[in-house]
Amino acid sequence: MLWVISRDYRPDTAATRASILQVHREYIHGHKDILVLAGALQDDAGTQDTGTMLTLNVGSRARARAFHDNDPYTRAGVFARVTITRMRKGPFNAAAGNSR
């Protein structure tokens, strides 16, 4: 089943995030077996990251929560708000994600 994890950054965490960015990316890329989509959330101008969004294919909320809890960003305390929501799969068009 699919789970969407939306996470908003705490203010003033840019330096912390930058210092562990590579470790965070290695963690994310190390879970390609369950990762459907991941990326930074940005302001409307695309100039500032405001959080992250992940879609995982795991069997339970507990597994989605464990993925989040073990992320180096989570361990560093950079998130102000986290939501984990189950998602029913609808149409999927990977090509549309690359068209703009």
- How many Cβ atoms sit within 10 Å of the Cβ of residue 72? 17
Total-model pTM: 0.91
Domain membership of residue 94 (yes or no) is no
Domain membership of residue 27 (yes or no) is yes
In the block, which residue shows the tokens 């003033």? 12
pLDDT at 100 over 70: no
pLDDT at 92 over 90: no
Output the domain CATH number for residue 46. Answer: 3.30.70.1060
- 53-83 tens-digit pLDDT: 999 999 999 999 999 999 999 999 999 999 9
Structural domain count of the chain: 1
pLDDT at 24 over 70: yes
Domain membership of residue 58 (yes or no) is yes
Q: 68 vs 14, 16, 55, CA distance in Å?
A: 19, 17, 11
Range of the domain at 60: 2-88
Domain membership of residue 97 (yes or no) is no
Which of 34, 19, 3 has its CA nearest to residue 72?
19
Domain membership of residue 100 (yes or no) is no
Cα distance between residue 96 and residue 74, in whole Å:
30
Tally DSSP H helices, then E strands, for the chain: 4, 4
Domain membership of residue 65 (yes or no) is yes
